[in-house]
Amino acid sequence: MQIQTPDWVKHAVFYQIFPDRFAKSQQPRKRLLQNARWEDWHAMPTLQGYKGGDLWGVMEQLDYLQDLGINAIYFTPIFQSASNHRYHTHDYYQVDPMLGGNPAFKELLDAAHERNIKVVLDGVFNHSSRGFFFFHDVLENGPHSPWVNWFKIEGWPLSAYNGDFPANYQGWDGNRALPVFNHDNPEVREYIMEIAEYWIKFGIDGWRLDVPFEIKSPGFWQEFRDRVKAINPEAYIVGEVWEDSREWLDGTQFDGVMNYLFAAPTIAFTTGDRLDMEQVQGRSYYPYPPLFAPEYGEKIKALLKLYPWEIQLTQLNLLASHDTARLLSIAGEDAKSVELATLLLLTFPGAPSIYYGDEVGLPGRLDPDSRRGFPMEGNWERDVLEYHRKLIAIRHNYPALRTGDYQVLFAEGTVYVFARTLGTEELVIALNIGTEPAQVNVEVAQLQSKPNQMLYGSGEAAWTTEGELSHLDLKLPARSGCILA
């Protein structure tokens, strides 16, 4: 079977936005609440408070995102919900009125598309919420409700709020706020397929699927793909699966997954023993520090063999998300670790994803701290923004970094060197994660050119040739990386 994935994703640099925390509109708008009791934007976020970010605010920041080099946005959920993260969906057809509702989203979508920025939404199709119309009807009418078979009800009466009594229905992860759908009911299945189709017709460019591995109904995701792609063959379908995802990446279901299998070793390699274990424990990706170059090389080679190449190119690669601590905090506030990891992220096959605020040095421990308000300009780390801009621009300028082969050239001790090649375009990327300068001699048989122009970073590179073999002599400062073209 010929696997087909959306071409634009291979050239995308994603920016992940948590809408309540990214930007609040500065323009006068017809708002739902005139004097809302928002939490202070810069105060530590709480589990239940709102900071009042909205979609008009995102629209006002599109120039900033475009300037950064972003050409795709992934939004965490935006549909009506009674939670700041909006994973408790009330109505799948309504954008939350606090964010500006459907009109604000339409305006944002058009403005993004004018700039050639794609927009991917979060689809929470495993469970709804207590406030979801159909579940609410079951709470009101008990066994007489026409929607009883839409959920996994185990007995009566239901106890949706009082934890002293059994819930008597299945909630996601045992949480009674999140009643799980009965996906074996054809009506439920059809309802979800129609939501997926509705928003693709509305103009979105794809779906990121929340906990899709929880939906075990045979053929569900195959049908989902068929129906979405029938409307837009270039729509992106990306699953939130943290581990080995071969089961979903056979070409009949998802185009990619959130690539935590890239994040984990990359974080372990670049941060080493600076890693704050508390920030990664209990998460399904496990950075195993310290990791040195040979082990890192092995993990990356194994990862690149795991899925078909066409799928590798449309993986969603990341270093942090709303479900993890921020990289800076994982790395024990070590800024160099973040830069080295970002260099690896932006030179890896697949679409890199920047979690809002990471590009200006925003820290944040585990949720809710990792969902802080985007900082004021005076608090940005300018050098961090600068290297993000530079690395994103280099990625856009060199097709080899997007769709070229990935070959490990050298992996010993603290030094890792690899090449990205596409036709005659060849780039060499080298990192020294050690606290001492390093000098290495790399034997290179497979490159035609001798890349020695320093596009990024610092160090010295010199080439020598003996017969068929070329040797690259590299001097790398401590805790540094470079790109040669």
Instruction: Show which residues are catalytic.
Output: 210, 240
Tokens in use for 471? 């040797």
Taking the mean position of all CA atoms in its chain, how far away is CA 78? 16
Q: Are 31 and 81 in contact (CB under 8 A)?
A: no
Structural Rg of the chain based on CA atoms:
24
Taking the mean position of all CA atoms in its chain, how far away is CA 281? 19
Checking DSSP bridges between strand 118-123 and strand 72-75, what pairing results, if any? parallel
Distance (Å, whole) CA 308 – CA 249: 8
Q: What are phi and psi of 460, to 5 degrees?
A: -130, 140
Report the SS3 class of residue 16: strand
Looking at this protein, which amino acid is placed at residue 395?
R
Distance (Å, whole) CA 33 – CA 130: 23
Q: Are 459 and 480 in contact (CB under 8 A)?
A: yes
The DSSP symbol for 145 reads -
Give the burial class of 109: count Cβ atoms within 10 A of its Cβ; 0-12 exposed, 13-18 middle, 19 or more buried.
buried
Q: Are 375 and 357 in contact (CB under 8 A)?
A: yes
Q: Which helix (H) or strand (E) holds 440?
A: strand 438-444
